[in-house]
Chains A and B, each alone.
Chain A
């Protein structure tokens, strides 16, 4: 009888706490979003599964000695996983569209307003009882507006590790929701005629330009913003491997096997931070709300910047590509292309939108560097 009782006490059923059950349901919800709705499945699936594993009573996945404990502390807390992902993203990125039309960098810069404006929102939420965000917390939350998962995770681990789970969930959820969040804002801020603007064909970009570009970006970051060099440096390394043409094997590994393996561990590690005490609070709701605000402001400021540029520059820019200034590569560029095609079925904006899109990646990495330098 005694051993039966002991066996019962070792079961999950006897040890479940309410918070753990709720977090397992949250994990299942993430799995549902990944599998059924195809929302960022590459990350939400391991993240949802990680959330289930970490909340199993008695299994000790996230306790000292547990599998997820080492994944988190070895790969995420140290910043290794987000940086490897960034290298892979660099290896996948073609800067051709940006080099051919460099003024789109301003669209990527404008869209970063989403990050800095959300800082205000996060601080304002301190007026709500139960929420207390420091400037570090607010900065980590604000980076969601950069629409860049690895950057958000990197900055959150440095500034507010206790908020990492909520920030990562918000960042990836909203990135998946880009096709739903952006179009209404883009349509509201542009006229039919503006959406019809056809842009001049991009000039061909020489190989030497593509090879020297990542080195130039790195050099500038070293000179002006060394705190951003972990992100920008790894990004540039990946891009250089892609463009130099002599290490195709390394480039292929960085953009396939390596990024895939790291994504599994990154997802599991972030999922391990989805514990009841860290996630089930008013602050998480605040972070989710702020994430939507950050995306919307970023989209709007990119579109408005493009409209402003049209008033100054001779060569017209379709303001829809301004919305691609929030990173979310290549989803945001696809959205700009789709909304453009609705207005003018012969107007393909995809390549033009890739310029501000990759500029947004650089912009959010620079913004993260600024936040680290000023707040970290």
Chain B
């Protein structure tokens, strides 16, 4: 029994020391990230690769048959919504 008690004390010490160390170590890592890495990121930012605007993009901004792309997008979303509602109604009717 005494041996068991001693083991418990050792386990308790290990737990306390272990948790304190884990928190300290990972806490230091937080400081490292906040102090060193973020400064490095400001000093050496990623190179922004300049890309020419894609042709397809130009096309989408052009009017198709006199209708602007915004109009096309609005009509598409309206049709999708209508179909969704319509389908839902159908499925409700089916379950009924």
Residues of A within 8 A of B28 (CB): 220, 224
Q: Is the interface of A mostly helix, strand, loop or mixed?
A: helix
Judge whether A335 is part of the interface by a CB distance below 8 angstroms: no
The verdict on A212 contacting B27 (CB below 8 Å), with A123-B4, A123-B8, A127-B4 known, is: no
* Cross-chain contact B30 with A102 (CB below 8 angstroms): yes
A38 within 8 A of B: no
Residue A138 lies at the interface, judged by CB distance under 8 Å to chain B = yes
Partner of B33, one of A102, A124, A138, A367: A102
Select the residue from A109, A122, A217, A375 with max chain B CB neighbours within 10 A.
A109
Identify which of A45-53, A110-118, A314-322 touches chain B: A110-118
Contact between B29 and A217, CB atoms less than 8 A apart? yes
Q: What is the distance, in angstroms, from A369's C-beta to the closest C-beta of chain B?
A: 9
Question: In the docked arrangement, what's the CA distance between A265 and B12, Å?
Answer: 37
Q: Which residues from B are CB-within-8-Å of A37?
A: none
Residue B15 interfacial (CB < 8 Å)? yes
How far, in Å, is B3 (CB) from chain A's closest CB?
Answer: 8
Chain A 87-104: CB-based contact to B (< 8 A → 1; otherwise 0): 000000000001100110
Q: How far is the CB of B6 from chain A (nearest CB, A)?
A: 10
How many of chain A's residues touch chain B, expressed as a range? 35 or more
Bound-state CA distance A116–B15 (Å) is 5
Contact (Cβ within 8 A) A371 B34: no
- Cα distance A30–B38 when bound, in Å? 46
Asked if A106 contacts B23 (CB within 8 A), the reply is yes
Is A105 among interface residues, defined by CB-CB distance under 8 A?
Answer: yes
| A363→B28 CA distance, assembly (Å) | 12
Known: A105-B27, A359-B26, A375-B14. A113 touches B19 (CB 8 A): yes
Are B22 and A213 closer than 8 Å at their CB atoms? no
Chain A nearest CB from B70 CB (Å) reads 25
24 contacts between A and B (CB under 8 A): A105-B26, A116-B18, A120-B12, A123-B8, A123-B11, A135-B7, A138-B7, A138-B11, A205-B41, A206-B45, A206-B46, A209-B33, A209-B37, A212-B37, A213-B33, A217-B29, A220-B32, A225-B25, A362-B26, A362-B29, A367-B18, A371-B14, A374-B14, A375-B14
